[in-house]
Amino acid sequence: MEPGLAQIREEVLRRNPGETEFFQAVDEIFASLGPVMERHPEYVEHGILRRMVEPERQIIFRVPWVDDKGVVKVNRGFRVEFNSALGPYKGGIRFHPSVYLGIMKFLGFEQVFKNSLTGMPIGGAKGGADFNPARRSEGEIMRFCQSFMTELYRHIGQHTDVPAGDIGVGTREVGFMFGQYRRITNRFEAGAFTGKGVSWGGSLVRPEATGNGVVMFANRMLKTQGTSLDGATVTISGSGNVAVNAIDYAQKLGANVITASDSSGYVVDEQGIDIDLLHQVKTVERGRISDYAERRKNARFISDGSVWDVPVDVALPCATQNELNGDDAITLVKNGVKAVAEGANMPSTHNAIATFREAGILFGPGKAANAGGVATSALEMQQNASRDTWSFDYTHGRLEETMEEIHDRCIATAEDFGHPGDYVTGANIASFLKVADAMIAQGII
């Protein structure tokens, strides 16, 4: 690592104590930037890195609400608006007990580069709360969302900051928040949110976009080696929106997806995951993954071990950050995995990524491989701005074009900077360059 990079890295560690996920995200980007700093000394002169690692704005607020028993509850809400050099802040809202400032900063930082790779005019942000929607009634979730938006509304808007969903936040939660935003502002500002219902300003393909996009990216990686997902055995972690749609699309391309998981364990279904049953259990009933195994002949539920113990050709981590560690990566490599693409944000640890790269495994980092969701959100923003709606096939075609462009940009940039075939280097440098050049053009702000 270049001396200047090392110094700023130490500053990040010192100024953000305890925010391990944020530091991990910064470290991962910095590891690729040595050649960039040598070629572009103007980035050092303009203090690009020091500015880039500091959010433009961090908002933390109280979220009081009343549960069904009349008990007053208080959660903590966040919005980290990281960088708006390319356009209005854009990034999801996460409701999960693990949410704290470090998680929000890591996600917001990653979002800056992911959004840059899409080629769309959007900056990066992330938000959420340490609220757990699991086992909460719809009325409780509505009241929480309304309280959350009663503060957040003043910080967002179609030209300022455009939130969407994330873990724990789907179309239902977006609807409750958008409704409160509309109520307070007295505006039907459709472009202030993405991930909306299709009947009130949402885009077709948006629910499928992240899961479909990571599959498209993985397939594109395999095609560089003369193969494809057709006939491949695939493991996918998670059972939320991203995982369900990744399973569905991978199977449509001819893959045999044999796993799904949640926090209680994972299922192995050698005949291929029954997507309709999985959707019913996890999305409709909001049950546990073990319920799938109970209803599916020959499927096995495993409560210990790791979903990455299952021998497969392709692995798509689609659950959460740091779910795939160094030991998991060693197991996957020993079992003959050919490609790994990240459907979640930073699901692989540094050790895991190093193992894949050293073994010559095709590895698609999340900022590239799962950019389909935010890319389609930007398409939703375009439709809202023009008061238009597009067909599923047209929008899906735009998504596929975007994922191919991201893939090819990563390959070309990695080649240009002396790391042919390295998607991590290509994604990090290509996304950084676009943001850095925009920051220089707009002055020291």
Tokens 């900022």 correspond to 367
> What are the beta bridge partners of residue 126?
80
Whether 126 is a known active-site residue: answer yes
Helix or strand (DSSP H, E) at 434: helix 423-441
Catalytic entry in 105, 114, 126, 196: 126
Q: Which two tokens stand for residue 245?
A: 């749609």
Helix or strand (DSSP H, E) at 341: strand 339-341
Q: Assess contact for 246 and 369: CB atoms under 8 A.
A: no
Q: Assess contact for 326 and 332: CB atoms under 8 A.
A: no
Question: CB 278: neighbour CB atoms within 10 A?
Answer: 23
CA dist 198 and 167 (Å) reads 20
Q: What is the CA radius of gyration of the chain?
A: 21
Q: Assess contact for 317 and 293: CB atoms under 8 A.
A: no
CA dist 242 and 371 (Å) reads 12
CA dist 69 and 324 (Å) reads 39
Q: Assess contact for 234 and 316: CB atoms under 8 A.
A: yes
CA dist 280 and 164 (Å) reads 24
Q: Assess contact for 238 and 321: CB atoms under 8 A.
A: no
CA dist 91 and 167 (Å) reads 12
Half-sphere exposure of 400 (CA within 13 A, CB side): 9
Q: Is 91 helix (H, G, I), strand (E, B) or coil?
A: strand
Q: Is 198 helix (H, G, I), strand (E, B) or coil?
A: helix
Q: Is 403 helix (H, G, I), strand (E, B) or coil?
A: helix
CA dist 46 and 139 (Å) reads 50
Q: Assess contact for 66 and 72: CB atoms under 8 A.
A: yes
CA dist 358 and 355 (Å) reads 5
Question: Exposed e or buried b for every residue in 15-40, given b needs 16+ CB within 10 A?
Answer: ebeebebbbbbbebbbbbbeebbeeb
Q: Catalytic residue numbers?
A: 126
